[in-house]
Amino acid sequence: MLQLCASDIRSRLQQLPQGDLDVLFSNIDDIIKVNSRFLHDLQETASKEEEQVQLVGNIFLEFQEELEQVYKVYCASYDQALLLVDTYRKEPELQRHIQGIVEAVVPQAGSSGLSFLLVIPLQRITRYPLLLQKILENTVPDASAYPVLQRAVSALQDVNTNINEYKMRKEVASKYTKVEQLTLRERLARINTHTLSKKTTRLSQLLKQEAGLIPRTEDKEFDDLEERFQWVSLCVTELKNNVAAYLDNLQAFLYFRPHEYNLDIPEGPAVQYCNLARDLHLEAFLKFKQRLEGLVWQPLCSLAKALLGPQNLIKKRLDKLLDFGRVEEKLLEVGSVTYQEEAARHTYQALNSLLVAELPQFNQLVMQWLGQILCTFVTLQRDLAKQVLQRAEGSMAQLPHHHVPEPAFRKLVEDALGRTSNQLRSFQETFEKVQPPPTTQPLLPGSERQVQALLSRYGPGKLYQVTSNISGTGTLDLTLPRGQIVAILQNKDTKGNSGRWLVDTGGHRGYVPAGKLQLYHVVPSAEELRRQAGLNKDPRCLTPEPSPALVPSIPTVNQVIAAYPFVARSSHEVSLQAGQPVTILEAQDKKGNPEWSLVEVNGQRGYVPSGFLARARSPVLWGWSLPS
């Protein structure tokens, strides 16, 4: 009958998912193997009638462990198989198909269908103690086979007891290994007085243990297994994170495609390299990425997911351990416990027994799985390197230095990299020596008198200019527009914060962010420039040609250059680039303010700050000249 279940019926139910078939028939193949050997040994006792009863008892004792191992696995999944059968009954067409297959192979199954076949292994293992007990009752107590039969009856009863306990532990474990993703609202909905009472009692028990008021229940065997499990879980997590980072870097590497750029080099090593890079990107690297995801990443994710159940089970064991300790304490004080407390006690014992029994096997399987994943990863790397070398052989033979020995080629590459490095270093040093021109914001209209007052009071080293609009948020903070000139009174606030400076605007004092201030470069006014020019025209001495100077107002010179860049803020202004030729149309604005000049730049007219303009260089060579 078992052979029919395992071969004929299962082969005809291939339309069912493989997962369903695994649950329905579980480890029935292992049961058939054990029972085949068991039957063979029983049949051999038929020729020894005088010793047959004793031999039968010895055979049951020999197969005790094997029978327990195979039948407890089947019995543990039996309830889940019945749930699947009930699910099939809700689909009439599928149920008729399954019923027809079962009745064609096993007519005596009747309307029970699959249920009739699935219960056969359970009936067999439970009948063995009854059969042995019947033989024992019909055996003379003085016979030599009697004690053997007694041990066999006791052994088979223990087998059934152990199977029931294993099934109960599995049921408890299946209840707590489920990992549910609940929202906060769903979690709150599950809270009631019972759960609050349990949580409070456990917390109280834990605090008593931590304070040393009650002894802590210790289990050295489980603690060692849990430590090993946590170490294995950490290995899986770290490897998963590393593989994820590797895949990200590989994706970034594949995103860069140098062979798609037009190098404007019609032939030579560059073309050969582009062809090789194109070949590797389109085939070798993409195939490697696909194999890496399928053979390394996905198994690693499945392994990490498999760890969630045991992790949740270990966490629940800790909660049940607190319940167990409380029940044991009450049992010592009172001598009796309630039904619920006894159930909690048994739940802890079931969880602890299951974990102690299965964690070693689980840890070993995870380590084997990890080893296989690592071996696969190394193999993929080796295959990729081999494939790249094979594809590169043809291109390498066409390179100009393919005939050079490896040491000489290494020296050649090092020399080329050294020269390139020196060139980059020289360029960096030259680049760092070039200082950018100071960026000075234009003065606000009408603020020249205020600037002169601050300059005369604090000196040029204390003057700073606001680079962007400042909106004060505190009682002592100032609100200042962009371009405002202020004098620094203190470079920190009263709390020692160097990010807020105390400044004077000429009318108000307060704090502003230090990051929005830059040192103001005082530009000489037109009168100062004319005064300096008058000193240079002293007829009693020869003077060199003056260097270009910034002029806020140039009434006599029409062609100047922009000393600093300027960005127009309205349609009345015009933008400037440093060094750009500028034609001055009027050296003042419509109100006669010389701080703004009307200019023409590239055919556009508008106002610019006069301080941003400088005289153009004289075409005359530098040297000494007589004053006119």
Looking at residue 22, what is its pLDDT? Answer: 83
| Rounded mean pLDDT, 385-410 | 78
Looking at residue 622, what is its pLDDT? Answer: 37
Rounded CA separation 552/522 (Å): 11
How far CA 250 is from CA of 244, 253, 390, in Å, comes to 10, 5, 21
| Rounded mean pLDDT, 60-73 | 89
- pLDDT greater than 50 at residue 307: yes
Q: What is the pLDDT of residues 333-343, one digit of tens each?
A: 787 878 777 77
- Quick one: pLDDT band at residue 549, thresholds 50, 70, 90? very low
- pLDDT greater than 80 at residue 40: yes
- Quick one: pLDDT band at residue 243, thresholds 50, 70, 90? very high
| Rounded mean pLDDT, 569-581 | 85
| 83, burial (CB in 10 Å: exposed 0-12, middle 13-18, buried 19+) | exposed
- Quick one: pLDDT band at residue 449, thresholds 50, 70, 90? confident
In the chain, the percentage of residues whose pLDDT exceeds 70 is 84
- pLDDT greater than 80 at residue 184: no
Q: What is the pLDDT of residues 576-601, one digit of tens each?
A: 887 888 998 888 888 888 888 899 99
Looking at residue 343, what is its pLDDT? Answer: 78
- pLDDT greater than 70 at residue 297: yes
How far CA 277 is from CA of 253, 270, 444, in Å, comes to 12, 10, 59
How far CA 32 is from CA of 67, 250, 290, 557, 580, in Å, comes to 11, 49, 41, 112, 97
| Rounded mean pLDDT, 115-123 | 82
Looking at residue 371, what is its pLDDT? Answer: 92
Looking at residue 244, what is its pLDDT? Answer: 92
Rounded CA separation 223/228 (Å): 9
Q: Residues 514, 525: contact at Cβ < 8 Å?
A: no
Laid out side by side, the sheet with 604-609 consists of 604-609, 596-601, 581-586, 559-562, 613-615
| Rounded mean pLDDT, 122-142 | 88
Looking at residue 493, what is its pLDDT? Answer: 86
Looking at residue 241, what is its pLDDT? Answer: 93
Q: Rg (Cα) of the chain, in Å, rounded?
A: 46
Selection from 63-77, 103-117, 546-560 with the highest mean pLDDT:
63-77
Q: Please, what is the average pLDDT of the chain? A: 80
Looking at residue 86, what is its pLDDT? Answer: 86
How much is the pTM?
A: 0.48
| Rounded mean pLDDT, 271-294 | 83
| Domain 560-615 CATH assignment equals 3.40.47.10 | no
From the list 165, 190, 209, the residue with the least C-alpha distance to 324 is 209
Looking at residue 342, what is its pLDDT? Answer: 79
Looking at residue 279, what is its pLDDT? Answer: 80
| Total residue length of the chain | 628
Angle formed by the axes of helices 308-333 and 298-306, to 10°? 10
Looking at residue 620, what is its pLDDT? Answer: 39
In the chain, the percentage of residues whose pLDDT exceeds 90 is 16
Q: Check for a shared fold between 1-178 and 194-397.
A: no
CB atoms within 10 A of CB 571: 7
Q: What is the pLDDT of residues 353-367, one digit of tens each?
A: 878 888 898 899 999
Looking at residue 5, what is its pLDDT? Answer: 62
- pLDDT greater than 70 at residue 540: no
- Quick one: pLDDT band at residue 446, thresholds 50, 70, 90? low
Paired tokens of 612: 């941003």
| Domain 1-178 CATH assignment equals 1.20.120.640 | no
Q: Residues 260, 360: contact at Cβ < 8 Å?
A: no
Looking at residue 627, what is its pLDDT? Answer: 39
Rounded CA separation 360/363 (Å): 5
Q: Residues 547, 532: contact at Cβ < 8 Å?
A: no
The contacts of residue 469 (CB under 8 Å, 6+ apart) are 480, 481, 482
Lowest-pLDDT range of 101-115, 221-235, 247-261, 519-533: 519-533
| Rounded mean pLDDT, 1-7 | 65
If you ran DSSP here, which 8-state letter would residue 8 be given? I
Rounded CA separation 466/447 (Å): 13
Paired tokens of 335: 């001598």
- Quick one: pLDDT band at residue 560, thresholds 50, 70, 90? confident
State the CATH class of domain 445-522.
mainly beta
DSSP string, 28-89: HHHHHHHHHHHHHHHHHGGG-TTTHHHHHHHHHHHTHHHHHHHHHHHHHTHHHHHHHHHHHH
| Rounded mean pLDDT, 534-559 | 46
Domain edges within the chain: 1-178, 194-397, 405-435, 445-522, 560-615
- Quick one: pLDDT band at residue 369, thresholds 50, 70, 90? very high
Residue scoring higher pLDDT (133 or 77):
133
Domain covering 194-397, topology: Substrate Binding Domain Of Dnak; Chain:A; Domain 2 (1.20.1270)
Looking at residue 618, what is its pLDDT? Answer: 47
| Rounded mean pLDDT, 365-382 | 93
- Quick one: pLDDT band at residue 326, thresholds 50, 70, 90? confident
If you ran DSSP here, which 8-state letter would residue 470 be given? B
CB atoms within 10 A of CB 54: 20
